């Protein structure tokens, strides 16, 4: 639905354009995103959009930057929030947060590492990527024993590969087709729990 232009005054337009990217990319794929389409969706002129983002690539770079920040926040929140109604440990919660992010925000998930469509040397993108990388290298969100926070250990790499791979299979692959989000998260939980003994055992 076309939105009122007045909603986007006072410095909100840049973020509103990113919301439009999310809506278009979720429905039609990242390749369907254009600055003009995003401007039309939120009811502003293309010239207004171009004042914030020089081209589609800069728009998608800002979108990917937001995605990286949001995933970092989700992982940190999951690690620090213990649900009294759940027996999940911190490692399971962080892994599930990663998969849940992909299920809830598939366009963000696809955009984060879509380097062929991004300005990967852009300062804000690099900072966001480094922040997420730090979470992954620091004991997978500080849930695994970590002897070197500046590098991915084999266990950290295995943990990341497992949750990212399953998330990708859910979002763009054959796993869990037509299954509900709850069913997919339970599948993810079972996988993470199965992997935990090898990953969480002291070295």
**pLDDT tens per residue across span 130-166:** 999 998 998 998 899 888 888 999 999 999 999 999 9
Residues 7 and 71 in one domain: no
Residues 14 and 80 in one domain: no
This prediction has a pTM of 0.89
Residues 186 and 120 in one domain: yes
Q: Give how many domains the chain has, as a whole number.
A: 2
Residues 98 and 109 in one domain: yes
Residues 165 and 111 in one domain: yes
Domain containing 111 equals 56-200
Task: List the CATH number of the domain containing 112.
Answer: 1.10.357.10
- C-beta separation of 39 from 45 below 8 A: yes
pLDDT confidence band for 11 (50 / 70 / 90): low
pLDDT confidence band for 3 (50 / 70 / 90): very low
Residues 154 and 92 in one domain: yes
Residues 103 and 33 in one domain: no
Residues 163 and 72 in one domain: yes
Residues 36 and 130 in one domain: no
Alpha-carbon gap, residue 50 to 153, rounded angstroms: 43
What is the chain's mean pLDDT, rounded? Answer: 90
């Amino acid at each position: 639905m076309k939105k009122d232009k007045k909603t986007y005054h006072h410095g909100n337009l840049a973020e509103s354009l990113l919301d439009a990217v999310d809506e278009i990319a979720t429905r039609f794929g990242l390749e369907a995103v254009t600055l003009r389409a995003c401007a039309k969706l939120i009811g502003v002129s293309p010239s207004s959009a171009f004042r914030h983002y020089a081209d589609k690539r800069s728009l998608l770079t800002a979108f990917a930057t937001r995605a990286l920040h949001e995933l970092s926040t989700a992982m940190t929140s999951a690690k620090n929030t213990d649900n009294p109604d759940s027996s999940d440990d911190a490692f399971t919660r962080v892994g599930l947060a990663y998969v849940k992010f992909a299920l809830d925000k598939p366009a963000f998930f696809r955009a984060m590492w879509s380097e062929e469509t991004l300005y990967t040397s852009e300062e804000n993108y690099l900072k966001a990527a480094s922040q997420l990388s730090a979470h992954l290298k620091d004991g997978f969100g500080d849930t695994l024993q970590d002897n070197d926070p500046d590098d991915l250990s084999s266990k950290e790499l295995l943990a990341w590969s497992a949750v990212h791979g399953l998330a990708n299979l859910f979002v763009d692959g054959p796993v869990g087709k037509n299954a509900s989000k709850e069913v997919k998260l339970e599948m993810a939980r079972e996988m993470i729990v199965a992997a935990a003994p090898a990953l969480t055992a002291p070295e």
